[in-house]
C-alpha cells in the first residue's frame, strides 16, 4: 500500500517540503474519501536525533 508515502507540497520559494506521511486510507486517493496522514513536524526532534546518531 501507500503507507509511509510522503505528502509533499511546494513552498512559495519553489522548494518542496514534506508535511506528512500516509498513515491509512480507504482505497488509493479515492475521491470524496479522506486520507489520514501523520504530521511530520511532531517528529522533527526525533528525526534529527536519528540523523545525528548516524553521523
pLDDT at 10: 97
Evaluate whether the domain defined by 6-54 bears CATH number 1.10.150.20: no
Q: Which residue has the cell 509511509?
A: 4
pLDDT in tens, 1-55: 788 999 999 999 999 999 999 998 887 777 888 889 999 999 999 999 999 999 8
Q: Nine-digit cell at 38? A: 501523520
What is the reported pTM? 0.67
For every residue of 21-52, DSSP letters joined together read: EEEEESTTT-TTS-EEEEEGGGGHHHHHHHHH
pLDDT at 24: 87
Instruction: Delimit the domains of the chain by residue range.
Output: 6-54
pLDDT at 35: 86
Give which of 1, 6, 10 is closest to 22, Cα–Cα.
6
Residue 43: C-alpha distances to residues 18, 40, 46, 47, 50 (Å): 12, 5, 5, 6, 11
Amino acid at each position: 500500500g501507500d503507507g509511509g508515502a510522503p505528502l509533499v507540497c511546494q513552498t512559495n520559494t519553489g522548494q518542496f517540503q514534506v508535511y506528512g506521511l500516509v498513515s491509512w486510507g480507504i482505497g488509493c486517493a479515492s475521491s470524496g474519501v479522506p486520507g489520514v496522514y501523520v504530521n511530520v513536524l511532531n517528529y522533527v526532534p526525533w528525526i534529527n536525533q536519528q540523523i545525528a546518531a548516524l553521523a
